[in-house]
C-alpha cells in the first residue's frame, strides 16, 4: 500500500467513482463532488466491454441484477447482411447507467470515500489543487481529478478546451421494456446513422443512435431501421430520450498544475465502439499510479498511449461509416471471417495490438473487400 495522500474528484460518473474506489483501495483520502443527485443518469449505450467488467470486479462493485444483462459478443447488421463475433476473453455487461452509478457510489462510500452529491464546482485553482463550489465551500487536495465528463466545466475553467470537431456526431438513447432477444450487442448500420441495441436488464433493452448532423429526433432515427423497429414492436417506452453532442472533444492538454483530466473530460472521439467506460477505468488506474510514483508530469504521455489504439479502431469504423458501399463489403467480409472479427474485438478492448493481427487474415479481408467476395 502507498502512503496516504489526498485526492479530490470532480464528477461522480463511472470514471470519477472508479477513481474514488481505486483511490480508497490504495489507502488515500478521497473526496468526490458531484453536481447531480443519485441516481445520476446520462446518455450512453451502456455496454461495458470484458476488460471493463474485469476492472469493475477488481473494484468490488456488486451490480443489481435488475439493471444488468451480460452479453457475449457483438453483431453488425446492415440490411440483410449480418456479421457476428463472440468474445473469447470474457463477457460484457449491459448495465443501466443509474444502476451502475448507484452500485459504484455504494462501493465508494463503503470504502470510506467522502461523497458530496448536489454540489457543483464553479471555480478551480490548478496550482493550489483547490476547487470552489456553488454553495460557497472550498476543497483542496494534493491531486484533483477532473472526471466531469464530455462538456467538462473544469476543462473550460482551466482554458483547456480544444478546437470544435470538424464533422460533429451526436448520440441519443432510450429504453424499452422488453425481454432481450439476443445476448449480443447489436449494431444496425444505415447510410445515415447507426443504432446500438444493448440488453440492460432481464426485461429491458437500450437503443442508442449515433449520427452526424444535428436536429434529429428519436422516432425519425428509429424509422431508418425497420428491422429494429419490428423487433421492438409496441414494447413500452421506459425512459426519457437523452442525447448529447458533438461527441468529439480534443482538449489542449490533460494536465494543469495539480489537476489531471480523466475519462471523457480528457477527450473523446466517438461512441461507435462502446469503449468509453472501459477506457475511462484504464485511465483511472494509470493516473493513480503516476500520482503514487510522483510522476504526474507523465500523465499526458500515458493518456496518449492509452487512447491511441482505441482511437485507431474508431477512426477505421468512422471511415467505413462514411462510404456505404465499402461498409457493406467490410460487413460481408467479416461475416465470412468471424475469427478476424473476434480479433478486432480484442484490439478494441486493449487485449491485442493491431500489429499482432495475422498478416494472412488481414490480406484475406482486404482481398474480400476489394473484390467484393462474399
Ligand X SMILES: Cc1cc2nc3c(=O)[nH]c(=O)nc-3n(C[C@H](O)[C@H](O)[C@H](O)COP(=O)(O)OP(=O)(O)OC[C@H]3O[C@@H](n4cnc5c(N)ncnc54)[C@H](O)[C@@H]3O)c2cc1C
What residues have CB less than 8 Å from 199, skipping those under 6 apart? Answer: 69, 71, 94, 180, 182, 183, 205, 206
Cα dist from 258 to 93, 115, 136, 299, whole Å: 34, 20, 21, 11
Binding of residue 174 to ligand X (CB under 6 A): no
Binding of residue 10 to ligand X (CB under 6 A): yes
Q: Which cell numbers hold the place of 75?
A: 453483431
Binding of residue 264 to ligand X (CB under 6 A): yes
For residues 84 and 280, which CB has a smaller minimum distance to ligand X in the complex? 280
Q: Do residues 194 and 221 make contact, with C-beta atoms less than 8 angstroms apart?
A: no
Q: Minimum distance between the CB of residue 82 and ligand X, rounded to whole angstroms?
A: 20
For residues 14 and 199, which CB has a smaller minimum distance to ligand X in the complex? 14
What residues have CB less than 8 Å from 323, skipping those under 6 apart? Answer: none
Q: Minimum distance between the CB of residue 242 and ligand X, rounded to whole angstroms?
A: 8
Please measure the distance between the N-terminal and C-terminal CA atoms of the chain and give it in whole angstroms: 55
Q: Scan residues 327-366 and list those touching ligand X (CB under 6 A).
A: none
Binding of residue 280 to ligand X (CB under 6 A): yes
Q: Which cell numbers hold the place of 264?
A: 471523457
The DSSP line for 140-157 is: E-SEEEE---TT-HHHHH
For residues 280 and 368, which CB has a smaller minimum distance to ligand X in the complex? 280
Binding of residue 50 to ligand X (CB under 6 A): no
Cα dist from 281 to 17, 21, 104, 178, 277, whole Å: 10, 11, 12, 30, 6
Q: Scan residues 200-219 and list those touching ligand X (CB under 6 A).
A: 208
Q: Minimum distance between the CB of residue 217 and ligand X, rounded to whole angstroms?
A: 15
Q: Minimum distance between the CB of residue 298 and ligand X, rounded to whole angstroms?
A: 21
Binds ligand X (CB under 6 A): choice among 83, 147, 365, 369: 147
For residues 84 and 199, which CB has a smaller minimum distance to ligand X in the complex? 199
- 3 state SS of 261: strand
Stretch that binds ligand X, among 215-223, 273-281, 323-331, 348-356 (CB under 6 A): 273-281
Position of cell 477527450? 267
Interface characters, 108-127, with ligand X (x: CB under 6 A)? ------------xx------
Does a cis peptide bond (omega within 30 degrees of 0) precede residue 147? no
What residues have CB less than 8 Å from 48, skipping those under 6 apart? Answer: 56, 92, 93, 94, 95, 100, 277, 278
Q: Minimum distance between the CB of residue 97 and ligand X, rounded to whole angstroms?
A: 8
Binding of residue 84 to ligand X (CB under 6 A): no
Cβ count near 135 (within 10 Å): 10
Question: Judged by CB under 6 A, how many residues of this single chain contact ligand X?
Answer: 41
Q: Minimum distance between the CB of residue 127 and ligand X, rounded to whole angstroms?
A: 19
Q: Minimum distance between the CB of residue 209 and ligand X, rounded to whole angstroms?
A: 7
For residues 72 and 364, which CB has a smaller minimum distance to ligand X in the complex? 72
For residues 20 and 334, which CB has a smaller minimum distance to ligand X in the complex? 20
Interface characters, 26-45, with ligand X (x: CB under 6 A)? -------xxxx---x-xxxx
Q: Minimum distance between the CB of residue 312 and ligand X, rounded to whole angstroms?
A: 17
Binding of residue 194 to ligand X (CB under 6 A): no
H-assigned helices in 258-358: 276-292, 299-322, 324-335, 338-348
For residues 318 and 369, which CB has a smaller minimum distance to ligand X in the complex? 318
Enumerate helices (H) and strands (E) in the chain, giving the number of each: 11, 19
Strand locations in 72-168 (E): 73-78, 81-86, 92-95, 114-117, 121-125, 130-133, 138-140, 143-146
Q: Minimum distance between the CB of residue 368 and ligand X, rounded to whole angstroms?
A: 28
Binding of residue 148 to ligand X (CB under 6 A): yes
For residues 46 and 292, which CB has a smaller minimum distance to ligand X in the complex? 46
Sign of CA dihedral 17, 119, 95, 260: negative
Cα 68 to Cα 298: distance, rounded to the nearest angstrom = 36
Residues in contact with ligand X by the rule CB under 6 A: 10-16, 33-36, 40, 42-48, 120-121, 147-150, 153, 171, 173, 208, 244, 247, 263-265, 271, 274-278, 280
Amino acid at each position: 500500500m502507498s502512503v496516504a495522500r489526498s485526492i479530490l474528484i470532480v464528477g461522480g460518473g463511472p470514471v470519477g467513482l472508479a477513481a474514488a474506489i481505486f483511490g480508497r483501495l490504495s489507502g488515500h483520502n478521497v473526496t468526490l463532488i458531484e453536481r447531480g443527485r443519485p441516481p445520476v443518469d446520462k446518455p450512453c449505450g451502456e455496454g461495458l466491454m470484458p476488460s471493463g467488467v474485469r476492472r469493475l470486479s477488481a473494484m468490488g462493485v456488486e451490480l443489481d441484477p435488475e439493471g444488468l444483462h451480460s452479453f457475449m459478443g457483438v453483431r453488425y447488421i446492415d440490411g440483410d447482411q449480418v456479421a457476428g463475433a463472440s468474445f473469447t476473453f470474457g463477457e460484457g455487461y449491459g448495465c443501466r447507467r443509474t444502476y451502475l452509478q448507484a452500485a459504484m457510489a455504494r462501493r465508494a462510500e463503503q470504502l470510506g470515500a467522502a461523497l458530496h452529491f448536489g454540489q457543483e464546482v464553479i471555480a478551480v485553482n490548478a496550482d493550489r489543487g483547490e476547487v470552489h463550489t456553488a454553495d460557497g465551500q472550498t476543497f483542496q487536495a494534493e491531486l484533483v481529478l477532473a472526471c466531469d465528463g464530455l462538456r467538462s466545466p473544469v476543462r473550460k475553467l482551466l482554458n483547456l478546451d480544444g478546437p470544435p470537431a470538424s464533422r460533429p456526431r451526436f448520440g441519443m438513447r432510450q429504453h424499452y421494456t422488453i425481454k432481450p432477444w439476443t445476448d449480443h450487442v447489436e449494431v444496425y448500420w444505415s447510410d445515415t446513422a447507426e443504432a446500438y441495441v444493448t440488453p440492460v436488464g432481464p426485461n429491458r433493452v437500450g437503443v442508442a443512435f449515433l449520427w452526424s448532423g444535428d436536429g434529429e429526433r428519436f422516432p425519425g432515427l428509429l424509422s431508418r431501421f425497420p428491422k429494429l423497429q419490428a423487433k421492438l414492436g409496441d414494447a413500452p417506452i421506459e425512459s426519457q430520450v437523452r442525447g448529447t453532442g458533438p461527441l468529439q472533444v480534443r482538449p489542449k492538454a490533460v494536465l494543469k498544475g495539480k489537476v489531471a483530466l480523466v475519462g471523457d473530460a480528457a477527450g473523446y472521439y466517438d461512441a461507435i465502439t462502446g469503449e468509453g467506460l472501459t477506457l475511462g477505468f484504464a485511465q483511472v488506474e494509470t493516473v493513480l499510479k503516476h500520482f503514487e510514483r510522483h510522476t504526474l508530469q507523465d500523465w499526458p504521455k500515458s493518456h496518449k498511449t492509452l487512447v491511441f489504439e482505441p482511437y485507431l479502431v474508431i477512426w477505421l469504423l468512422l471511415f467505413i461509416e462514411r462510404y456505404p458501399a465499402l461498409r457493406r463489403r467490410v460487413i460481408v467480409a467479416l461475416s465470412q471471417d468471424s475469427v478476424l472479427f473476434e480479433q478486432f474485438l480484442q484490439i478494441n478492448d486493449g487485449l491485442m495490438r493491431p500489429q499482432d493481427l495475422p498478416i494472412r487474415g488481414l490480406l484475406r479481408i482486404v482481398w474480400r473487400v476489394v473484390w467484393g467476395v462474399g
